[in-house]
């Protein structure tokens, strides 16, 4: 147990993976190592490894290398280095592909002239075919031999094994026929065409995969590289990475904010669409928060840095989106299991095809060609890409709309939500309670307010802030022996008087007619009392968010049962629920009891989700099957939630559920096409109805079609702004 406290998660960039069999094998290898728990993502080319004190980064890199791949710890510069390296490799592969096409076209072109009555007279000399095909086979196709060797050395098999084995059989047979001048047909064009087509498929796949990470790339590009910082009364230009918390920086009209900060002086409006998905600019003045990469409008803002580097909201978003894109959805487990045994099974089918055709027909060449077609048509790439590419695009689109997904499992489960529990304050309502009524009893209005504010002056509770805001200009008396009783109220000594401020039930005045009247109007009532009795009643109202009623209607239209949880009494809760269009609520729920309320809802069956914004919501969020945190809420709530809504708008929950449904729809389509492709293709090849060249083209295009189908998710738009 000593290592439990030392556990950490490290992300590695993985090189050399070509198909799902590679990622499945590498994951298995890493998970067999002591102190490692790994999740390998083919589409993102990443491995997230949980390390205990029994393992370190060097051990991971060594294990990955032994398995035939490369690994490097992901750091701040990894993305740029990878991008540059991929562009270099892509240009190199384009040139190799052009050479492959030039060498392969004469081999394939001759086939068109061999279809007539005297077709074989138009066949290229076999020595020339050997000269054209050999560079394609062993120079252009070297990547497949290298990949196959590393896979077999690591104790597994992947797509490279299939391609190298199939094309080598076609080339080897043809070379023997040519060198010994045997009376047999040659198949140089089959091997060369397969390698060229697979290379084309890899190039198209690389282009399509690059587009799946556009959301993160777009976020990174938004942050300025430099900032104007105040030093000894002068403004100097500094790299953003050099800023420290407390530095004062200037954001001029039209510029993007360099880091998170608080406005010191100036007025402007800031476009925060990249965070919230909301296009309307937000007014900013002294005391307001600004966030890195948001666009300043017409005014200049002088700000104090509060979050720099990895502590900015933007960095958190990029990190969270990256983690979600690298995570694995439960629906992918079946594909992973199949990919792990796929290549050995296909090799067995190819061997059976060869033996069957040779023993029945007696034609070695025909048996060989059909076996090659089986090897070439069967590729687990499409299976491996079906889920992660859709997750990458879906989470990226979510980030654009202000929906941050913590992991793929949460995204998968969201569409299955049957019950949604809503916290009231700050979720359904604005979270900005205001004092609306003061009912004097044994003390005058002003005196009662002064005493109540003095008692609450050190409290951060929303109701306390409402009372303090009403007496902002008054000098408050000191408070002694302050104590808070969660869910009930506070007590302490002010001006030598022992005071209590809290709920009518706690004070024993729940039957007071004035209390009932105010509660029926949807207001929260607290009383101020001393030993002699009640000094005053205070009514506080928290207005419903303008979008809450429409958002609740959207959720109910999806067949979701919406339940409001609140610490308010039944009368106030009923009024708020009716205003929001909610038929079911739980009133008088103490902060510590929200998790129990969620557990009770879960006992009723169906997937239960929770939406909250405060620290006291964190246990309930953790208890729910799927949890949503309103972005304006506390760090504890966001940390406990599966999905974070950057906009403080309940429409984001409905949008997240819509996104989940759209993403899962694409995953199901991808898996169907990947499975059906192999289920149909392998038997056709085994029966001799599929030429190896056609099989190679089909295999190359299967992966491209899966990635392209995932990219259609880029058309998704939030329903609240559709």
Residues labelled as active-site residues:
423
Phi, psi at residue 252, to the nearest 5°? -85, 165
Q: What is the 3-state secondary structure (H, E, C) of 509-577?
A: CCCCHHHHHHHHCCCEEEEEEECCEEEEEEEEECCECCCHHHHHHHHHHCCCEEEEECCCCHHHHHHHH
C-alpha 648/C-alpha 276 separation (Å) is 9
Q: The tokens 């609740």 sit on which residue?
A: 552
C-alpha 414/C-alpha 624 separation (Å) is 11
Is the sign of the CA dihedral 151, 157, 162, 165 positive or negative? Answer: positive
662 token code pair: 């759209």
C-alpha 213/C-alpha 41 separation (Å) is 13
C-alpha 643/C-alpha 700 separation (Å) is 36
Q: The tokens 């599929």 sit on which residue?
A: 690
194 token code pair: 């397969």
Would you put residue 533 in left (φ > 0), alpha (ψ -120 to 50) or beta?
left
Within 10 angstroms of residue 295's Cβ, the number of other Cβ atoms is: 17
Q: Where are the alpha helices (DSSP H) in 250-301?
A: 273-276
DSSP string computed for 598-628 = HHHHHHTSSEEEEEE-SGGGHHHHHHSSEEE
Beta-carbon contacts of 370 under 8 Å, excluding residues fewer than 6 positions away, are: 353, 354, 357, 685, 686, 687, 688
Beta-carbon contacts of 102 under 8 Å, excluding residues fewer than 6 positions away, are: none
């Amino acid at each position: 147990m000593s290592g439990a406290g030392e556990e950490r998660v490290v992300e590695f960039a993985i090189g050399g993976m070509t198909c799902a069999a590679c990622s499945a094998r590498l994951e298995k290898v890493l998970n067999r190592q002591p102190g490692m728990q790994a999740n390998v993502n083919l589409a993102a080319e990443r491995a997230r490894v949980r390390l205990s004190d029994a393992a370190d980064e060097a051990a991971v890199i060594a294990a990955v290398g032994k398995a035939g791949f490369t690994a490097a710890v992901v750091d701040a510069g990894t993305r740029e280095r990878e991008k540059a390296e991929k562009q270099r490799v892509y240009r190199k592969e384009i040139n190799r592909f052009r050479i492959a096409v030039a060498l392969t076209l004469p081999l394939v072109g001759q086939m068109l002239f061999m279809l007539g009555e005297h077709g074989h007279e138009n066949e290229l000399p076999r020595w020339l075919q050997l000269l054209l095909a050999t560079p394609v086979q062993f120079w252009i196709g070297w990547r497949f031999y290298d990949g196959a060797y590393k896979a077999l050395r690591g104790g597994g098999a992947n797509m490279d094994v299939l391609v190298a084995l199939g094309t080598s059989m076609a080339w080897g047979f043809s070379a023997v026929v040519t060198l010994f001048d045997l009376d047999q047909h040659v198949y140089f064009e089959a091997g060369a065409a397969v390698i060229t087509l697979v290379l084309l498929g890899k190039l198209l796949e690389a282009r399509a995969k690059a587009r799946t990470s556009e959301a993160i790339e777009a976020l990174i590009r938004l942050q300025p590289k430099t900032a104007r910082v105040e030093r000894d009364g002068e403004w100097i230009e500094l790299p953003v990475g050099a800023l420290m918390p407390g530095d004062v920086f200037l954001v001029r009209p039209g510029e993007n904010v360099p880091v998170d900060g608080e406005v010191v002086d100036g007025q402007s409006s800031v476009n925060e669409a990249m965070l919230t998905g909301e296009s309307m600019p937000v007014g900013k003045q002294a005391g307001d928060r600004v966030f890195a990469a948001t666009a300043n409008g017409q005014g200049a803002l002088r700000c104090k840095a509060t979050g720099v580097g990895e502590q900015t909201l933007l960095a958190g978003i990029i990190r969270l989106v990256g983690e979600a894109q690298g995570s694995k959805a439960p629906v992918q487990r079946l594909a992973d299991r199949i990919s792990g045994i796929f290549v050995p099974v296909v090799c067995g089918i190819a061997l059976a095809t060869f033996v069957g055709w040779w023993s029945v027909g007696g034609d070695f060449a025909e048996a060989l060609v059909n076996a090659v077609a089986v090897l070439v048509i069967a590729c687990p790439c499409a299976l491996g890409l079906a889920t992660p590419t859709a997750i990458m695009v879906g989470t990226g689109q979510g980030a654009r709309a202000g929906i941050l997904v913590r992991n793929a499992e949460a995204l998968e489960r969201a569409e299955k939500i049957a019950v949604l529990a809503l916290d009231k304050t700050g979720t359904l309502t604005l979270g900005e309670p205001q004092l609306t009524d003061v009912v004097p009893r044994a003390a005058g209005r002003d005196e009662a307010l002064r005493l109540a504010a003095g008692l609450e002056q050190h409290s951060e509770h929303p109701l306390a802030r409402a009372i303090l805001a009403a007496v902002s200009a008054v000098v408050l008396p000191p408070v002694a022996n302050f104590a808070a009783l969660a869910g009930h109220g506070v007590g302490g000594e002010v001006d030598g008087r022992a005071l209590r401020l809290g709920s009518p039930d706690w004070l024993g005045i729940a039957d007071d007619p004035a209390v009932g009247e105010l509660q029926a109007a949807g207001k929260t009532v607290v009383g101020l009392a001393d030993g002699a009795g009640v000094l005053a009643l205070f009514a506080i109202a928290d207005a419903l968010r303008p979008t809450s009623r429409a958002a609740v209607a959207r959720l109910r239209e999806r067949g979701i049962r919406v339940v409001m949880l609140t610490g308010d009494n039944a009368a106030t809760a009923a009024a708020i629920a009716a205003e929001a269009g909610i038929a079911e609520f739980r009133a008088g729920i103490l902060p510590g009891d929200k998790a129990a309320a969620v557990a009770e809802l879960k006992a009723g069956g169906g997937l239960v989700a929770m939406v909250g914004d405060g620290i006291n919501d964190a246990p309930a969020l953790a208890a729910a099957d799927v949890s949503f945190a309103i972005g304006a809420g506390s760090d504890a709530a966001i940390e406990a939630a599966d999905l974070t809504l950057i906009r403080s708008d309940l429409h984001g929950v409905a949008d997240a559920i819509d996104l989940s449904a759209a993403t899962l729809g694409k995953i199901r389509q991808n898996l169907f096409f990947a499975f059906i492709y192999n289920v149909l293709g392998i038997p056709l090849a085994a029966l001799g109805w599929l030429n190896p060249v056609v099989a190679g083209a089909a295999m190359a295009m299967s992966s491209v079609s899966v990635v392209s189908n995932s990219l259609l998710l880029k058309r998704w738009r939030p329903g609240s702004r559709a």
